[in-house]
A and B are shown apart, each in its own frame.
Chain A
Amino acid sequence: MFLTARRPRPSELHRVADEELMQLVHEGQAQAFEVLFERHADAAFSLAYRMCGRRAMAEDVVQEAFLSLWRSGARYDPARGSVRAWLLRSVHNRTIDAFRRTTVKAGRDVHDETAAERLHAAELTDMEVERREDVRQVRSALDQLPADQRKVVELAYFGGFSHSQIAELLELPAGTVKGRMRLALSKLRITLGEAAETPA
């Protein structure tokens, strides 16, 4: 956390907390935006690409989300989580909106192997070095879910399908799908414990 009252110099922005950068972005400071972009663009793109399975569409969504942040960063509410979580929610919502606009369903990533235009392995950041432990925990928690619960979570969150679409896909009553979602998130909450209590 950058604690001094004075305005940070450009070279200091890399050490400034996201929340303070958001304030600077709101004031129109492009360098603060660039730092935020460098911090979160990979995660944003990875989420969009995981959902879309199409590189161009993922790029469009991420571009839209970041430019929206630049022009309307004032809407960020720290009480609702970290900047990163807020930004990724924006990417998620915009991707679902894009699905609805384009009605492109063929490219939606129901099965990961079918994703088109997959980036070359060398482009995997494998990075976010300091987040690797979080990644491991989340993947492990998902792996521990019963397969039917994990499936509805993945279809909903990464596939962008509504509960009624999932019910149709899996030939299940809508109530069953909602129930599995609820059970899955409850179990994830318990499994992740403190990790889920700490904003990403």
Chain B
Amino acid sequence: MSEHERSLGGRGCAGDAAAYALGALEPAEAEAFRRHLESCVVCRDELAAFERVVDVLPSSAPQYRAPSALRRRVIGEVRADARRRARTGAPDARRSAWAGAAGVRRLPRLQLGLAGTGALAALIVALVLVLGGGGHGASSSRVVAAQVSGPGSAEVRLSGARAELIVHGLPAAPPGEVYEVWLQTGSAPPRPANTLFDVGARGGASVGIVDRVSGATRLMVTAERAGGSAVPTHAPVIVARLD
């Protein structure tokens, strides 16, 4: 008796549920197993149990941040498609929008008019100068500790022109608001990094910064109104020096 037969305990059917759940049946075998499932409640139950196990296997893989370019491509495509859909009013416009591989595209800016930023920018710069600190070294990959004005902690992981903000224990954004990330170069007004986020139940978040951070000397986070703002309207809750 083979290992497989022993594992089945003498059951009559082929017992392919494990191989099917793992995606290890050949296409024709998988199709035959799906037909078998229609009449075999034992295999159906077994498959449901195995699928729940298989569903957690991905978490055993080393975890990486999705590349920023991937984020830009996907979100850019979806935003563009949503705009097309809004213009045409076609309910199924989404279904025809994905022919071919998409190139890397820049995200549309959120109302980037910077008029009127002067006073706020000066305030932000002043706060940054008071709060800033924590960078070490100029290597292409490094971690920068950030200053947090309230509870919690934060750090920025830099790899080339990409950055990821990691926060722990940060309070949720106030009702009706969201956290928005800003980049600043020297004393220029902060610019939106096209990145909005909120924290989880325990105040944690891993935020891939959509825009490239090359050239930026500071990264800041403020709480802003729904959908984000073109200019910061609150004092930063997080400041990290990138230089």
CB distance from B89 to the nearest CB of A (A): 11
Q: Are B8 and A63 in contact (CB under 8 A)?
A: no
Q: Are B59 and A138 in contact (CB under 8 A)?
A: yes
Residues of B within 8 A of A127 (CB): 63, 65, 164, 166, 206
Q: Are A71 and B95 in contact (CB under 8 A)?
A: yes
Given known contacts A45-B66, A59-B70, A66-B74, A122 and B55 CB-to-CB distance under 8 angstroms: no
Q: Is A47 an interface residue (CB 8 A)?
A: yes
Q: Are B18 and A139 in contact (CB under 8 A)?
A: no
Residues of B within 8 A of A153 (CB): 22, 57
Residues of B within 8 A of A196 (CB): 52-53, 56
Q: Are B66 and A184 in contact (CB under 8 A)?
A: no
Q: Is B67 an interface residue (CB 8 A)?
A: yes
Q: Are A122 and B67 in contact (CB under 8 A)?
A: no
Residues of A within 8 A of B21 (CB): 185
Q: Are A157 and B23 in contact (CB under 8 A)?
A: yes
Q: Are A182 and B4 in contact (CB under 8 A)?
A: yes
Q: Is B24 an interface residue (CB 8 A)?
A: yes
Interfacial residues of chain A within 182-200, with CB under 8 A of chain B in the complex: 182-186, 188-189, 192, 195-197, 199-200
Q: Are A55 and B67 in contact (CB under 8 A)?
A: yes
Given known contacts A11-B176, A125-B65, A47 and B52 CB-to-CB distance under 8 angstroms: no
Q: Are A129 and B56 in contact (CB under 8 A)?
A: no
Q: Are B51 and A129 in contact (CB under 8 A)?
A: no
Residues of B within 8 A of A162 (CB): 24-26
Residues of B within 8 A of A50 (CB): 58, 61-62
CB distance from B9 to the nearest CB of A (A): 10
Q: Is A2 an interface residue (CB 8 A)?
A: no
Closest B residue by C-beta to A15 = B198
Q: Mark B105-137, 1 if CB is under 8 A from A, else 0.
A: 000000000000000000000000000000000
Specify which of A44, A192, A195 is in contact with B66 (CB 8 Å cutoff).
A44
Q: Is A54 an interface residue (CB 8 A)?
A: no
Q: Is B141 an interface residue (CB 8 A)?
A: yes
CA distance A55 to B204 in the complex (A): 27
The stretch among B75-83, B212-220, B231-239 that forms the contact with chain A is B75-83
CA distance A160 to B26 in the complex (A): 11
CB distance from B55 to the nearest CB of A (A): 4
CB distance from B25 to the nearest CB of A (A): 7
CB distance from A33 to the nearest CB of B (A): 5
CB distance from A79 to the nearest CB of B (A): 10
The stretch among B34-42, B96-104, B181-189 that forms the contact with chain A is B96-104
Residues of B within 8 A of A33 (CB): 75, 78
Q: Mark A168-193, 1 if CB is under 8 A from B, else 0.
A: 00000101111111111110110010
CA distance A33 to B70 in the complex (A): 15
Q: Is B142 an interface residue (CB 8 A)?
A: yes
CB distance from A130 to the nearest CB of B (A): 5
Given known contacts A15-B198, A138-B57, A67 and B64 CB-to-CB distance under 8 angstroms: no
CA distance A135 to B52 in the complex (A): 15
Interfacial residues of chain A within 4-31, with CB under 8 A of chain B in the complex: 9-12, 14-15, 28-31
Q: Are B56 and A173 in contact (CB under 8 A)?
A: no
Given known contacts A130-B200, A185-B54, A176 and B4 CB-to-CB distance under 8 angstroms: yes
Q: Are B74 and A63 in contact (CB under 8 A)?
A: yes
16 A-B pairs with CB atoms under 8 Å apart are A37-B74, A38-B208, A43-B59, A46-B61, A62-B70, A70-B81, A85-B55, A92-B23, A123-B164, A129-B168, A156-B19, A177-B19, A178-B15, A179-B5, A197-B52, A200-B55
Across the A-B interface, the 6 shortest Cβ-Cβ residue pairs: A179-B4, A127-B206, A179-B3, A14-B198, A129-B204, A11-B226
Q: A28-B91, A41-B66 are in contact. List 16 more A-B contacts (CB 8 A).
A: A9-B226, A10-B226, A29-B82, A42-B208, A60-B101, A67-B78, A70-B81, A72-B95, A119-B64, A123-B162, A128-B63, A138-B60, A177-B4, A180-B3, A181-B24, A182-B4
